[in-house]
Structure 1
Amino acid sequence: MTVARDIPERETLKYEFKSDRKRLPDGELIDTVVALTNTEGGTIYLGVEDDGTPTGIHQDHAGTTKLAALVANKTVPPVPARVSTLLLNANGVMDEDGVQIVEIEIPKSTAIVSSSDGKIMRRKLKADGSPESVPLYPYEIITRLSAIGQLDYSAFPLPDTSIDDFGSEEIARLRDILSRSRNSDQALLELSDEEILSALRMTTTVDGRITPTVMGILLAGKPEVISRTIPTSSATFQVLEGTEIRVNQDFDQPLLYTIEKMYEMLSPWNPEREYEDGLFRQSIPEFDHRAYREALVNAFGHRDYAALGRVRVLVDDEGLTISNPGGFMEGVTVDNLLTVEPHGRNECLMGALKRIGLAEKTGRGVDRIFEGSLYCGRPLPDYSGSTSASVSVFIARSAPVRLFMQMLDEERERTGRPLSLKSLLVLDALKQQRRLTITELSSQTHTTDAVTRSIVEALVEAGIVEGIGNASNRAYILSSKVYARSGKGSGFVRQSDIDKIRYPELIMKLARQQGGEIRRRDVESLLHLTEKQAYRELAKLVEKGALELVGQGAGARYLVVK
């Protein structure tokens, strides 16, 4: 039998075991403290062997106050560690008769921390998955400071460059984008070239001399200058059909050129589907154009330009993947992407892209990426492939859901405005799960119950959503606007649209479509009945000899009697 431990079973990026039988040197302890606080924070268990066996602490480390003071005095800036003692038996379980160990909790720092003798460390995983503390090298410091929002590398002036290092054709491209974009800062067009560069912070003044910034050279520098000063700015556009490479093009040009070219390159690989909207027909691309542009701009705008790697756009049989070096910013996760306060790694660069008209001015470009899928009833963009070193978004190939789109179009015509992103997320959750409570909807949309309830009530009032059940166990379903008159599952009509006399007919029809069997939950979903109501309808058909019950409880099936 496995015994629940009060300390972790093994070391990870956030947990470190340190043997203290021979008195752990202060320097080794401080190195681990520095590495943890410069990564994700974590806990040191002093007096525990590498295999997780508690063996006790040295008498010199018996005082928790003394250890906390040691950590604070030997780190710059001081790390406020919380130190406590634990009594554990050989299984790592709290036991009054066990050996004494020390638990040192290290917070994640919002600055770069070093030991008092100047060593800067970080945590990383080795090839076998075990953790280790390694030096944080100078080029990695920029990445770390950028990730925690303490530094904007894109705003740095570039030494050994001058205003002559901008390409004249790129300045012309900048003006052309400004004039074509409806969202650009049109006032910039009235300025001279040098004034535009200054206004967008593409140049700055250093010792009285106009000097390009990293962002300026990225956007409009000459290719040879970019290659010399920012060699990490490259990108790749690839198309695969099966295992065959159709397109594999690298880009080492300025971002203004690269973004526009990579946007255009998707068109031949982005087929459109015809969609009937009343008397009109409209074409729906497989990948939403606006969502693709936002994802592309985000990849260049938020990538880590101090790290090796490249922005990559991959089109394959499964869908579209856009990835870039540099993980999510501090505080941003896959779960809170749509709710966290927007903040980026390269604020200077993103600020320029917004004013030029290439990026969403509100900083909520990710909302547009999700809306591109939600408005067509398609699977949501998938960021689960992201890691601490890169961000990756996958948009699956999928046909638009015509009935869902019709419902959204009707509501937009009725109100004169599109539904909010939160409303779309609620509707998508109901489309996928069919019946959810407020708490379940809040969990899926990552909003509070109060916000979710407000959204749902508005959708109920609009006739898009309906509540079912009593107040203590109330759930919500989509209204008849999203259900077809025939088909299976979500394509069936709602309970209120069906004459109860037809219940047996519809149940038998679904059973035959499913190979001659049906379960209670199928009937609940089909007719939007409660568990007891569905059971009663099935029992009637069993009594009539139309169905035969096989099994009991949750595994019960009803077979068509031939």
Structure 2
Amino acid sequence: MDASELAAVLEHGENISVEFKRCGVQPEADAFETVCSFNNRFGGSIYLGVLDDGTVEGVNRSQATAIERNLVNVVGNPKLFNVAPAIETERIEYDGRLVIRVWVPAGPAVVSFKHVIYDRVADVDRRITSETQIAQMHIRKQNHFSEQRVYRYLKPSDFRFDLLPRVRKLAALKTPGHPWAEMDDMELMRSADLYGVNYDTGEEGFNLAAVMLLGKDEVISRIAPAYKTDVIVRRENLDRYDDRLIVTTNLIEAQAQISEFAKRYLPDRFMLEGDQTVSPRDIIIRELVSNLMIHREFVSPYPAKFLILNDGIHTENASKAIFQGQLAITSFKPVSKNPFIAKFFRNIGLADELGSGMRNLYKYSKPYSGKDPVLDDGDVFEAFVPVRWVEGDVAAGDLSVHSKDEHNQDETANDPSEQINDPDGTVNGTVNGTVNGTVNGTVNGTVNGLTERERSLLNLIGDNPSLTYRQAASALGVSYNTIWRALQTMKGNGLITREGSDRRGTWRILTPSQPSRE
């Protein structure tokens, strides 16, 4: 490296593979923490004699040999490093000062320094202490695809071959005349690389990809006990959830279950693409769910998540990443995490070519929400697609499929004509149902400057100070979000106030022109 190359590094600053360190007569302990973290991540360069802000201070030339010797001695000391990382040093002349570059390649083993494991996250050396994080690091160090692991004692009876007629049908719909249509079950499994030889070990049999795609539930639970996808809707009950689905079945059925669940809770909007109408929501769900199925590390203890929150859709899944940080569509270079599973999904039309998922998310997120998605790769891959909720959109509390949790603490979405009970026992009365779109009880017309909805809400609160958002939404026949916005506006305008929590508190009317009742 010459001075011009170093200048470019200094300009860009520290990152996941670049670290600046001041250095006196010998490197400080934090330099060796960085050696450890670089070895455990993707490798990197430490520049001794450079301050954190990129200012070149240089090292003492008379101490350069001693510094390099100290680096070699410390990394080779088994009392300090459990495994000796490989390092190389290079001297760089820069503006009359000497900088020592220490290059640390990624190593095949998980390394600790002074019995502490460090990992590189952005420009920080982070201590790793949890068993889950350490397990993920070991997974990252594997130099093969875990989906190819062969289980030679698995038999055809351990699989859901009853799903193969559906697989053949989907493959034929995707590609007319697909060869799978004429194959028997075992021929199809071999063609899909789900049964074969692991040339690393010489073992022959069904592999992990076969188990995850077509295994019976009890077989999956024994081979991948941590495997599950947790699908949660959390838009009203922020402490728990509004609805939840836990999926532990094979990937083919899991893909359908998660997709249908998500469609019930996300608003659908259509756009014209050429002369055809398409649903951005369905395409976004397809890409996010397919990513959870295809590009995850199934031997990791980290469960996958599909979350529908007030700001949008969040997904998380364990990954075996070669890149750490936010992905950009302009520089993204896709790498298949599970090529056998990905190929299977492409054959049955549930995924397209590598990299198309990210392009589709960017393409359809903008018309769906007005914003771009955010994708972060690392030991855990995280995706976020914003959702723009508008009046009339489906809300979790408005759906008849809304389910109570195991403690029966969720409120239920009741029919407006039925009596509405507060599960906490705080409501002493009931909210009357609506008749022909009007609320029982009238508001005195002398209350000026209020909308009809605000007058109706004041009337409901007067009847029942413990009124909940969902009760009000049911009584007025509108969505939960509409009521939430209306009540927040009324609070901001000084008409009402909330005393206590949203769940157990009560409303109090502040306006002197309190509505009267006939």
- Give me the identity figure in percent: 16
Alignment of 1:246 with 2:222, yes or no, is: no
SS at match of 1:359: coil
Q: 1:405-433 deviations in whole A, cap 9, x for unaligned?
A: xxxxxxxxxxxxxxxxxxxxxxxxxxxxx
Say which of 189, 204, 221 aligns to 2:196: 204
What is the CA distance between 1:360 and its match in structure 2? 0.4
What residue number does 2:65 align with?
62
* Alignment partners' CA distance in 1, 2:171 and 2:196: 21
* Alignment partners' CA distance in 2, 1:108 and 1:340: 23
What is the CA distance between 1:272 and its match in structure 2? 3.6
Alignment of 1:355-394 (within 5 A): 355-374=347-366, 376=367, 378-383=369-374, 389-394=380-385
* Alignment partners' CA distance in 2, 1:293 and 1:276: 19
What is the CA distance between 1:133 and its match in structure 2? 6.1
8 Å CA contact retained: 1:166, 1:222: yes
Alignment of 1:344 with 2:336, yes or no, is: yes
* Alignment partners' CA distance in 2, 1:78 and 1:276: 56
* Alignment partners' CA distance in 2, 1:196 and 1:395: 39
Q: Which has the higher contact order (CA 8 A, sep 6+)?
A: 2
* Alignment partners' CA distance in 2, 1:138 and 1:157: 24
Give the partner amino acid of 2:214. A
What residue number does 1:305 align with?
298
Distance 1:55 1:225, change over 3 A: same
What residue number does 1:228 align with?
222
* Alignment partners' CA distance in 2, 1:343 and 1:312: 21
Give the partner amino acid of 2:40. N
What residue number does 2:187 align with?
195
SS at match of 1:189: helix
Give TM-score, length-normalised by structure 2: 0.56
8 Å CA contact retained: 1:34, 1:120: no
8 Å CA contact retained: 1:46, 1:57: no
* Alignment partners' CA distance in 2, 1:10 and 1:59: 27
SS at match of 1:238: strand
Structure 1 spans left out of the alignment, 5+ residues: 1-5, 87-93, 400-562
* Alignment partners' CA distance in 2, 1:261 and 1:82: 56
Distance 1:267 1:283, change over 3 A: farther
What is the CA distance between 1:351 and its match in structure 2? 1.8
Say which of 249, 254, 257 aligns to 1:258: 254
Structure 2 spans left out of the alignment, 5+ residues: 1-9, 78-82, 391-518
Give the partner amino acid of 1:104. R
Alignment of 1:269 with 2:265, yes or no, is: yes
Say which of 268, 283, 291 aligns to 1:290: 283
Give the partner amino acid of 1:15. E
Q: 1:77-105 deviations in whole A, cap 9, x for unaligned?
A: 8444434588xxxxxxx997xxx8x6433
* Alignment partners' CA distance in 2, 1:277 and 1:291: 15
What is the CA distance between 1:71 and its match in structure 2? 9.3
Distance 1:7 1:229, change over 3 A: same
Q: 1:366-402 deviations in whole A, cap 9, x for unaligned?
A: 222222235x374244215666533223232268xxx
Alignment of 1:54-133 (within 5 A): 62=65, 78-84=86-92, 103-109=100-106, 112=108, 122-124=118-120, 131-132=125-126
8 Å CA contact retained: 2:233, 2:243: yes
SS at match of 2:335: coil
* Alignment partners' CA distance in 2, 1:14 and 1:120: 21
8 Å CA contact retained: 2:147, 2:208: yes
What residue number does 2:308 align with?
315
What residue number does 2:431 align with?
none
What is the CA distance between 1:256 and its match in structure 2? 0.6
* Alignment partners' CA distance in 2, 1:166 and 1:14: 48
Say which of 37, 40, 51 aligns to 2:39: 37
* Alignment partners' CA distance in 1, 2:147 and 2:307: 26
What is the CA distance between 1:60 and its match in structure 2? 6.9
Give TM-score, length-normalised by structure 1: 0.52
Alignment of 1:385-404 (within 5 A): 389-397=380-388
Q: 1:301-331 deviations in whole A, cap 9, x for unaligned?
A: 1122232222222223333223322275438
8 Å CA contact retained: 2:212, 2:220: yes
Q: 1:137-159 deviations in whole A, cap 9, x for unaligned?
A: 9844553246xxx4211122135
8 Å CA contact retained: 2:325, 2:378: no
8 Å CA contact retained: 1:292, 1:369: no
What residue number does 2:170 align with?
177
What is the CA distance between 1:247 and its match in structure 2? 1.7
Alignment of 1:372-521 (within 5 A): 372-374=364-366, 376=367, 378-383=369-374, 389-397=380-388
8 Å CA contact retained: 2:316, 2:380: no
What CA RMSD, in Å, does the superposition of the two structures yield over aligned residues? 5.0
Q: 1:330-350 deviations in whole A, cap 9, x for unaligned?
A: 388422x35433222222221
8 Å CA contact retained: 2:361, 2:373: no
- How many residues are treated as equivalent by the alignment? 368
* Alignment partners' CA distance in 2, 1:187 and 1:142: 39
What residue number does 2:212 align with?
218
Structure (1 or 2) with the greater helix fraction = 1
* Alignment partners' CA distance in 1, 2:330 and 2:177: 26
Alignment of 1:15 with 2:11, yes or no, is: no
Distance 1:272 1:346, change over 3 A: closer
SS at match of 1:62: helix
* Alignment partners' CA distance in 2, 1:108 and 1:349: 30
8 Å CA contact retained: 2:139, 2:320: no
Further displaced range: 158-167 or 232-241: 158-167
What is the CA distance between 1:193 and its match in structure 2? 0.6
What residue number does 1:426 align with?
none
